[in-house]
Structure 1
Amino acid sequence: MTFAKIGLPEPVVAALARKAITVPTPIQAMAIPDAIAGRNILGRAQTGSGKTLAFGLPMLARLAKHEDRPRPKRPRALVLVPTRELAFQVVDSLAPYAGSLGLNVRPAVGGTPFTKQVDQLRRGVDILVATPGRLNDHLRQQTCVLDEVEMTALDEADQMADMGFLPQVRALLDQTPDNSQRLLFSATLDHDVQALVREFLPTHEMHSTQDGRASVTTMDHYVLLVDRGQKDAVLAEIASREGGRTIMFARTKLGAEGITQRLRDKGVAAEALHGGKAQNQRSRVLERFKNGRTPVLVATDVAARGIHVDGIDLVVHVDPPQDHKDYLHRAGRTARAGEAGVVAAIVLPNQRRQFRRLTGMAGVDATAVPVSPGSDELATITGARTPSGEPVRESYFRPQRRERSFGDRGPRRGLGDRGPRRESGGRDHRRDSGSGPRRDSGNGPRRDSGNGPRRDSGHRGHHRDSGHRGHHRDSGNEPRRDGANGPRRDSGDRVARGPRRGVDSRGERGAVDRRQGGATPERRSNGFRSRADRRSYDGFTGPRREHNQ
């Protein structure tokens, strides 16, 4: 059987063919025809067997019949998942095929901007992939309404039950129309999930490829028996192997962080993924793991479901899983879609009985092998190598930035390309530019910055309160010295600051000085008075001049 014969729209079949997907997996071949026919589906299959397309492709086939766009805030199909990572994986899996039909798939999960999701819902959403908590937030805010949902799919229903989401799931399903189609998929089905099935899927078609036990024939299981003091050394050698991607599982967040730090100290580029990280951090960690920048990922069980990365060929149980379902979900990160993979458990002497019970309940025939650091058996099973021993710093995981100078937000400019320099107020020309004679040129020292002494330094040049003040640059008919053609503006266009004391615009006092033949003090090139200038004009160095009016 091929996808072309199942009844999918031609654009979807073509999109699948472009990804070299032409033959459905067993769960897809059984579930898709009944789902397209409008029946409720209860599917049970091992993780990595293609459940996402088993419920996603029938949704696309049904929504493709609509000729109009969905109404604002009212999605036409809903997918409920337990974790954010799984939501993003579902969106990434369905988006190419939805795009071939002109449909859209949008996520609604916590840890991401709420307003962005509101905007997407207002624009109209065909398939909404959501976690129960964030979807409840939208319902309370009335930014999403579920009264026009035609199909609802529950992915990893058993994990939602384990995480305590079933009350919220029931409340959400109550908001959907009673006659809407419902599909429930999970790797395992326990009593809580069966109660949900009886309530919301009273009539359904049951499709199962296994009985809740391991059934992937391309996956090899090993129990690596190590002594207590050798566990870290064995982990470091396994993580140092060449090629492929490795995912290690710890039971707690602190455990994941501790393992990650010990691996980095041995020279392994490892990162941790757990619920204690912000969503943007988790997304960046997963992205680096996907592109190969981080070859080793240390994750908790909460993050296990939803990590769908190609090329994971080794899964390591560093800490024992909680139960056989967690064992299967951890192992499901490898050997996906027919690929080969190895699942290895690091088992201490006091954990052997626990692992025998777990593997027996999961239907796993695991081979027990005693190993030690540097042993041939360890290298044969996992490809272990001696670590480099050079610690990996946190900067290794930061994005590489191109070198650039301060302010380089476009074509790089030199100092001379920045236009006219403004030294005071809003002057249009540099006083010391080469376009005309300088204001401070002449026999006296420069009064602005440059090679001459600064005005407020020990040697001040011609002090303003000295007996000889020099020629007033603005008096009489002396020609302009700054080379400007427009009307002269006093002290660098100080229009907004009002008249300034001690220069031409100081009013009546300045006019009296000019009538008495006194030269007005020479202006500073930068438009500001020094402390000495203020003393000169405010009478601190001598009695204030009185002028006859």
Structure 2
Amino acid sequence: MADHLNMEIEEEDDYVEYVPVAKRRAIEAQKILQRKGKSEAFEEEEEKIKLVEAKPSLLVKASQLKKEQPEISHAEQVFQQEKEMIEHLSDKKTLMSVRELAKGITYTEPLRTGWKPPLAIRRNSKKACDAIRKQWHIIVEGDDVTPPIKNFKDMRFPEPILKKLRAKGIIQPTPIQVQGLPVILSGRDMIGIAFTGSGKTLVFVLPLIMVALQEEIMLPIAPGEGPFGLIICPSRELARQTYEVIEQFIEPLMESGYPELRPLLCIGGVDMKSQVDVVKRGVHIVVATPGRLKDLLAKKKMNLDNCRYLTLDEADRLVDLGFEDDIREVFDHFKAQRQTLLFSATMPTKIQNFARNALVKPVIVNVGRAGAANLDVIQEVEYVKQEAKIVYLLECLQKTPPPVLVFCENKADVDDIHEYLLLKGVEAVAVHGGKDQEEREYAIAAFKACKKDVLVATDVASKGLDFPDIQHVINYDMPAEIENYVHRIGRTGRCGKTGIATTFINKNQSETTLLDLKHLLQEAKQRIPPVLAELNDPMDDVDAITDASGVKGCAYCGGLGHRIRDCPKLDHQRSQQIANSRRDYFGSGGYRGEI
């Protein structure tokens, strides 16, 4: 019986223990609370996710900002980049002496001279002055610009100078002389820009003679003193030519009873002792190249204590990379304010901005666009294969009667062409920086005197040299920099005469250089050869940049066929800078260029 009862209990497996009502209610309440807690946590989590989604990431923010900003055109982007580049280039040290920079010396007023234009000219209204400038195509910038004067007599030069000008066939002033001479005579600092062959030399030589004459009359110069005025040129040939112009005007003054003025030619390749002897007697005017001038000043053979007149001829070349430090060292020797003048046919915006720091209230006198070619030169461009150039040169020489000037890029080509022409029976001479001073002087003198028919030269003869009778210039090589081309062809078509310039081009020239040439020909309304006309011109796409920046073409070298980003001159100078710094590291000084 007991075993039977046990079996029944084991079979009832679905037995559930009785739970009191109070306990059941407590368990249900607990379950409800748990469910409620989970839902609240879930809601909190959802809110957090929503907040994260509402706060965008930095990448999302950046993309939103880009969408919000107005679209900048390609032209505006290029202009902004160029502006930054020009500002960076202008960050170089200013063209001032170390003493002035260290002491914070700045000059606010230009030097005053005793010169004044005649009363009738002083009374000319601004409108009348502007009419004269418009008639002579003169553009001026600056405050209180001296009125232009249309004849030499009203500029109050002594009679011997006026006679000499007439004897040289100079009756009427050229546009740069009409405005430039009065500005300089009145003591103002000036930047002078004019076509090659426009008479720039007289603009700074005649006022310097007047300054020296005035100083000598007031207080005669003592032995070892001087100079009163200094002219710095980039090449020995140009310095000698300027010195000879000064001598031409000093001689008639002495013959007429005016005090003796002693000029000095201070260039390399000449015995320094003869130069020091002139200084010991007392020198009024010095015409120099940077290298020899720096030597004389460093050795204390000469000082600039009394110097109050400084001209940088072909200033763009002098202020460029090769001579910039030399010029700054010369500036260190000035003890007081000076009248500073800068002259060139090519004066890019970058050089003008850089030079303005050295000038006090400067007047910019511009006759034609800076860097534009002389309109009196007929420019012919011909495609000639490299191997055929030397033979074709003989044909070109027959275009015009002699004298003819042939330009090459390197010294080896000058020597090869010179030898070839001599073998063909052509009376030729050659000039380049590798020749000694005697050879260079003989070649220039023989060519100027028409004893030789052809002068073959590097760019050492392209800046400023005056060959009045040249009808034809041949560019055997198209120079890489358009500035050099402008200076080269400017050796012909001088003083109102017409000249021809023939340039050989081929695949050796870069497209940038050829585009610069194309634009220069277009500006001068010359014939464009098919090989240049077919070039793809990127400047067509950036016309709007000119309007935005006010600078046509390149702000660094003045080339019209490219912008500053693609400037070959800037690239070349940067690579040269790197090469020079490497040379200095290995213990050998950098090449300074031809002086």
TM-score, normalised relative to structure 2: 0.59
2:221 alignment counterpart: 70
1:43 alignment counterpart: 192
The range that moved more, 312-321 or 349-358, is 349-358
**Matches of 2:425 and 2:400 in 1, distance apart?**
13
Selected match of 1:12 from 161, 173, 190: 161
1:232 alignment counterpart: 390
2:481·2:513 contact (CA, 8 Å) conserved in 1? no
Q: Is 2:279 the counterpart of 1:132?
A: no
1:74·1:121 contact (CA, 8 Å) conserved in 2? yes
Shift, 1:204, TM fit: 1.0
Selected match of 2:515 from 357, 380, 383: 357
Q: Secondary structure of the equivalent of 1:82?
A: coil
Q: Secondary structure of the equivalent of 1:346?
A: strand
Shift, 1:35, TM fit: 0.9
Residue identity in the other structure for 2:486: L
Q: Is 2:357 the counterpart of 1:220?
A: no
2:241 alignment counterpart: 89
Q: Secondary structure of the equivalent of 1:297?
A: strand
User: Structure 2: which 5+ runs fail to align?
Assistant: 1-149, 255-260, 532-595
**Matches of 1:195 and 1:354 in 2, distance apart?**
25
**Matches of 1:177 and 1:192 in 2, distance apart?**
28
Q: Secondary structure of the equivalent of 1:342?
A: strand
1:367 alignment counterpart: 527
Q: Give 1:356-435 correspondences, 5 Å limit.
A: 356-360=514-518, 362=520, 363-368=523-528
The range that moved more, 312-321 or 358-367, is 358-367
Shift, 1:15, TM fit: 1.5
Shift, 1:150, TM fit: 1.9
1:276 alignment counterpart: 434
Q: Is 2:173 the counterpart of 1:24?
A: yes
Q: Relative contact order (alpha carbons < 8 A, sep ≥ 6): 1 or 2 greater?
A: 2
Residue identity in the other structure for 2:221: P
Q: Secondary structure of the equivalent of 2:332?
A: helix
Q: Give deviations 1:41-74, integer Å, cap 9, x for gaps.
A: 1111122111110111111122222314323242
**Matches of 1:182 and 1:242 in 2, distance apart?**
41
Shift, 1:196, TM fit: 4.2
Residue identity in the other structure for 1:199: N
The range that moved more, 2-11 or 317-326, is 2-11
**Matches of 2:313 and 2:187 in 1, distance apart?**
18
Q: Secondary structure of the equivalent of 1:200?
A: coil
TM-score, normalised relative to structure 1: 0.64
Selected match of 1:317 from 456, 475, 493: 475
**Matches of 1:150 and 1:254 in 2, distance apart?**
42
Q: Secondary structure of the equivalent of 1:312?
A: coil
Shift, 1:163, TM fit: 5.6
Shift, 1:254, TM fit: 0.7
**Matches of 1:123 and 1:80 in 2, distance apart?**
21
Distance 1:297 1:321, change over 3 A: same
**Matches of 1:171 and 1:154 in 2, distance apart?**
14
**Matches of 1:226 and 1:194 in 2, distance apart?**
37
Residue identity in the other structure for 2:278: Q
Residue identity in the other structure for 2:196: T
Q: Secondary structure of the equivalent of 1:75?
A: coil
1:494 alignment counterpart: none
Shift, 1:239, TM fit: 2.8
Selected match of 2:204 from 49, 55, 72: 55
**Matches of 1:354 and 1:288 in 2, distance apart?**
37
Count matched residues: 371
Shift, 1:110, TM fit: 0.4
Shift, 1:349, TM fit: 5.2
1:12·1:101 contact (CA, 8 Å) conserved in 2? yes
**Matches of 1:74 and 1:143 in 2, distance apart?**
11
Q: Secondary structure of the equivalent of 2:357?
A: helix
**Matches of 1:300 and 1:212 in 2, distance apart?**
23
Measured on the aligned residues, the alpha-carbon RMSD in Å equals 2.2
2:196·2:464 contact (CA, 8 Å) conserved in 1? no
Q: Secondary structure of the equivalent of 1:256?
A: helix
Residue identity in the other structure for 2:517: T
Shift, 1:177, TM fit: 3.8
Structure number with higher helix proportion: 2
Q: Give 1:64-463 correspondences, 5 Å limit.
A: 64-65=213-214, 66-67=216-217, 68-71=219-222, 72-102=224-254, 103-162=261-320, 164-190=322-348, 193-240=351-398, 243-348=401-506, 351=509, 353=511, 356-360=514-518, 362=520, 363-368=523-528
Shift, 1:17, TM fit: 1.4
1:359·1:366 contact (CA, 8 Å) conserved in 2? no
Q: Secondary structure of the equivalent of 1:263?
A: helix
Residue identity in the other structure for 1:289: F
Q: Secondary structure of the equivalent of 1:165?
A: helix
User: Structure 1: which 5+ runs fail to align?
Assistant: 372-549
Distance 1:121 1:310, change over 3 A: same
**Matches of 1:361 and 1:121 in 2, distance apart?**
48
Shift, 1:266, TM fit: 2.5
Percent of residue pairs identical: 34
2:375·2:524 contact (CA, 8 Å) conserved in 1? no
Residue identity in the other structure for 2:527: T
**Matches of 1:361 and 1:117 in 2, distance apart?**
46
**Matches of 2:340 and 2:253 in 1, distance apart?**
22
Residue identity in the other structure for 2:161: V
Q: Secondary structure of the equivalent of 2:239?
A: helix
Q: Secondary structure of the equivalent of 1:298?
A: strand
**Matches of 1:194 and 1:216 in 2, distance apart?**
21
Residue identity in the other structure for 2:231: V
2:197·2:491 contact (CA, 8 Å) conserved in 1? yes
